[in-house]
């Protein structure tokens, strides 16, 4: 298991340096691999840029829309990591939130929009937190590592969603493996007419700013960062109840991931189906790490990965590069962040003698 992120020991400049170096290193390695594979790196880059930023619709209806769940799950992962716990199960928590959100949207469709939309999103957050409660309680009460249990819970959630769309929540005709569409009143309003950009974008930005303020300016935020930096020191010197902080941070992390599922259902798909997420909960790890676990940085890295996702189809169509290369680039980002972050910590230890 990689070491717990030590963000309190690293300044913002150091985190930005690691992120920038990771992006550059990833770009160089990806270009070299494309060239070795017989593809033109420049043509691939141009195609990806057009697919992600090649016009109003590409930016608003594709890139920004795909960045929303990445930002929300990225915030979820960052919060857990900052508290010294490894929430690898954001994917499952997202699916739990989506199932709960769809159920509310189908069953409470007679409510007005001002009540139904908050109810749907709240149900998604509660479901995500409940799904996250299993691994964190097993860690705190039984000493079972949360990495494996949170990951396994993701597989359970994905299969639960599949069962729902083939069984209890399947659309009335029983033809397609999906639910019926949620009520119109349960859908998120569009921000820009004629596009698919919904108010979930505003919600993601607001939550990123709120989480940054909470971690920076409040006692709760200090406790989260202190426990993440050194659980023992927080308990002895700060008299902080590390178990309570860990539990609260992990449940809040699950709630944010569940909210991502609810937002996707209420703002984009309007229904639940198999394969709702292409792996946002796992990509969120790269989003959070590249941002240095900084909530405002997650906005930038979420947009970056949203653009990469949006450009993948154009890269395949215009440059003949398989779309799975985008997944390879995401993996390279994770490796670059971990390697460069490790090198930076080693250099700091050499200089300080720690």
Token reading at 19:
């992120």
pLDDT at 22: 74
How many CB atoms are closer than 10 A to CB 42? 12
Place of tokens 């079972």: 144
Mind listing the pLDDT tens digit of every residue in the chain (354 residues)? 344 444 444 445 556 666 777 778 778 888 888 888 888 888 888 888 888 898 889 999 999 999 999 999 999 999 999 999 999 999 999 999 999 999 999 999 889 999 999 999 999 999 999 999 999 999 999 999 999 999 999 999 999 999 999 999 999 998 899 999 999 999 999 999 899 999 999 999 999 999 999 999 999 999 999 999 999 999 998 899 999 999 999 999 999 999 999 999 999 999 999 999 999 999 999 899 889 899 999 999 999 899 988 888 788 888 788 877 777 777 777 777 777 767 766 776 677 665
CA distance 298 to 290: 8
**322: nearest Cα among 49, 44, 54:** 44
Place of tokens 């720690």: 354
CA distance 312 to 326: 6
By the 8 A CB rule, do 312 and 323 touch? yes
CA distance 177 to 296: 37
By the 8 A CB rule, do 146 and 135 touch? yes
pTM: 0.89
* Class of domain 12-352 (CATH, top level): mainly alpha
């Amino acid at each position: 298991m990689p070491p717990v992120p030590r963000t309190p020991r690293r300044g913002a400049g150091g985190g930005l340096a690691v992120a920038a170096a990771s992006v550059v290193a990833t770009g160089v390695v990806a270009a070299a691999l494309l060239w070795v594979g017989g593809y033109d790196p420049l043509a691939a880059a141009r195609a990806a840029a057009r697919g992600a930023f090649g016009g109003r619709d590409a930016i608003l209806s594709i890139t920004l829309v795909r960045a929303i769940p990445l930002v929300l799950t990225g915030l979820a992962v960052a919060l857990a990591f900052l508290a010294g716990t490894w929430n690898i199960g954001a994917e499952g928590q997202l699916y739990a939130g989506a199932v709960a959100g769809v159920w509310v949207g189908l069953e409470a469709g007679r409510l007005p929009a001002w009540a139904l939309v908050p109810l749907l999103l709240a149900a998604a957050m509660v479901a995500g937190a409940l799904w996250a409660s299993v691994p964190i309680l097993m860690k705190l009460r039984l000493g079972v590592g949360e990495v494996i249990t949170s990951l396994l819970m993701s597989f359970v959630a994905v299969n639960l969603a599949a069962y729902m769309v083939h069984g209890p929540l399947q659309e009335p005709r029983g033809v397609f493996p999906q639910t019926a569409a949620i009520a119109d009143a349960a859908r998120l309003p569009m921000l820009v007419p004629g596009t698919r950009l919904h108010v979930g974008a505003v919600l993601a930005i607001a939550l990123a700013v709120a989480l940054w303020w909470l971690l920076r300016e409040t006692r709760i935020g200090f406790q989260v960062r202190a426990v993440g930096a050194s659980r023992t020191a927080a308990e002895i010197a700060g008299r902080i109840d590390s178990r309570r902080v860990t539990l609260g941070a992990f449940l809040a992390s699950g709630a944010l991931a569940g909210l991502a599922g609810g937002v996707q259902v209420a703002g984009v798909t309007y229904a639940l189906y198999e394969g709702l997420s292409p792996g946002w909960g796992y990509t969120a790890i790269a989003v959070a790490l590249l941002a240095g676990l900084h909530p405002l940085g997650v906005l930038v890295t979420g947009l970056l990965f949203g653009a990469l996702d949006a450009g993948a189809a154009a890269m395949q169509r215009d440059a003949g590069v398989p779309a799975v290369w985008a997944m390879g680039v995401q993996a390279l980002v994770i490796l670059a962040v971990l390697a460069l972050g490790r090198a930076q910590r080693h250099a700091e230890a050499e200089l300080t003698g720690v």
